[in-house]
Chains A and B, each alone.
Chain A
């Protein structure tokens, strides 16, 4: 791998209800189109066409139950520092659909570790930072993360592994729900501990995470524009475009 290489990692482990692999390939195509960087999909599947992208085969990680009864295999996120073949890595979730090149300036800057913190809701039009548990520390979203192979990022990932290993203990200390295990919580705690109990900010600047969550019904998604419905005091419809979208309602994508 050449020096100063930049690339993207997407993890895809299928479960009973969702074929994450296909979703990851769609997300990877969008990364290649908008950011023009190589993409590596980390998966246990040896079959399936990944087109121009690379694949790293790993064993399926342990299960983590969700309230919809499906197994959520998300416990590999803390190992991505070790698995990444790139010097500067972008990690995105398989349900994060790039519609713009807006991540490029963040990818080309020199900050060693960045993770999404601010969230914009296309339903209540607020941009805010969520708070974690009763201790109310800033919550980071592991959905999008950029890191350099460097000492600082290495320590953050090592701390995240430690928090994951002792998840129950930290859930008591920080007073958040113990199940299911969430990478967002793992990294929020790790970053809180690693940066002088919240003294340092690792959040993206000027790049809120656009969460299209269960409050929204996707009507259609075409030409990078999402038309959606939601219920407030009555039924509304609206659209959003020109931003990267975290399409969390996977059932509505298939």
Chain B
């Protein structure tokens, strides 16, 4: 880097909050899955809801329920199947997020981008 480039790099600021929001947006966009012709957004609420069907009273239950997908289309759902798909996506995306977040914390200024 020559002097001019160094001076240029020094005057450029870095907004960590914006960088974090950029990562969050990327992560949220990945949290979608297809099932039964519908599309579901994987959230903690959806996982908890599906998991609730396997509570003490539902342990051996293997029936079918209807749920509205993200686009308000009713979809026939076997809860444990959708739960498995959601958990898998959650696992993949959040692991990636954790790795990316670790990289993100190392960036202290615009030169490191």
* A and B from one complex: yes
Residues in chain A within 8 A of chain B (CB atoms):
100, 102, 104-106, 108-111, 114, 120, 122-123, 125, 127, 205-208, 210, 227, 229, 232, 234-243
Q: List, sorted by A's number, 27 A–B pairs whose CB atoms are closer than 8 Å.
A: A100-B29, A102-B30, A109-B69, A109-B70, A109-B71, A110-B37, A110-B38, A111-B39, A111-B71, A120-B25, A125-B18, A127-B25, A205-B32, A206-B70, A229-B12, A235-B12, A236-B12, A236-B18, A238-B18, A239-B19, A240-B22, A241-B22, A241-B26, A242-B23, A242-B27, A243-B22, A243-B25
Contact of B113 among A102, A105, A238 (CB under 8 A): A238
A205 near B39 (CB under 8 angstroms)? yes
Contact of A206 among B12, B15, B31 (CB under 8 A): B31
Chain A residues with Cβ under 8 A from B25's Cβ? 120, 127, 208, 210, 243
Q: Does B4 touch A at the CB level, under 8 Å?
A: no
Kindly name the residue among A108, A229, A239 whose own CB sees the greatest number of chain B CB atoms within 10 A: A239
Alpha-carbon distance between A202 and B66 when the two chains are bound, in angstroms: 22
Chain A residues with Cβ under 8 A from B100's Cβ? 242
Query: Which residues of chain B in 1-33 are interfacial with respect to chain A, using CB atoms and an 8 Å cutoff?
Result: 11-15, 17-19, 21-23, 25-33
Residues in chain B within 8 A of chain A (CB atoms):
11-15, 17-19, 21-23, 25-34, 37-39, 41, 69-71, 73, 100, 110, 113
Chain A residues with Cβ under 8 A from B27's Cβ? 242
Looking at the assembled complex, report how far the CB atom of A6 sits from the nearest CB atom of chain B, in whole angstroms: 13
Chain B residues with Cβ under 8 A from A123's Cβ? 18
Alpha-carbon distance between A238 and B18 when the two chains are bound, in angstroms: 8
Looking at the assembled complex, report how far the CB atom of A209 sits from the nearest CB atom of chain B, in whole angstroms: 11
A238 near B73 (CB under 8 angstroms)? no
Contact of A237 among B28, B30, B32, B113 (CB under 8 A): B113
Alpha-carbon distance between A210 and B30 when the two chains are bound, in angstroms: 14
Chain B residues with Cβ under 8 A from A227's Cβ? 113
B29 near A237 (CB under 8 angstroms)? no
Chain A residues with Cβ under 8 A from B12's Cβ? 229, 235-237
Alpha-carbon distance between A229 and B15 when the two chains are bound, in angstroms: 11
B39 near A238 (CB under 8 angstroms)? no
A206 near B28 (CB under 8 angstroms)? yes
A205 near B113 (CB under 8 angstroms)? no
Closest residue to A110 on the B side, CB-wise? B37
Looking at the assembled complex, report how far the CB atom of B69 sits from the nearest CB atom of chain A, in whole angstroms: 7
Looking at the assembled complex, report how far the CB atom of B110 sits from the nearest CB atom of chain A, in whole angstroms: 4
Alpha-carbon distance between A205 and B68 when the two chains are bound, in angstroms: 13
Contact of A105 among B13, B19, B39 (CB under 8 A): B39
The answer to whether residues A238 and B15 also contact, given A108-B39, A210-B25 and a CB cut-off of 8 A, is yes
Chain B residues with Cβ under 8 A from A236's Cβ? 12-15, 18, 110
Chain B residues with Cβ under 8 A from A122's Cβ? 18, 22
A105 near B18 (CB under 8 angstroms)? no
Chain A residues with Cβ under 8 A from B26's Cβ? 100, 240-243
B32 near A125 (CB under 8 angstroms)? no
Kindly name the residue among A108, A111, A206, A227 whose own CB sees the greatest number of chain B CB atoms within 10 A: A206
A125 near B21 (CB under 8 angstroms)? yes
Other 13 A-B pairs with CB < 8 A, given A108-B34, A205-B70: A100-B30, A105-B32, A105-B34, A108-B39, A205-B71, A210-B25, A234-B11, A234-B13, A236-B110, A238-B19, A242-B27, A243-B22, A243-B26
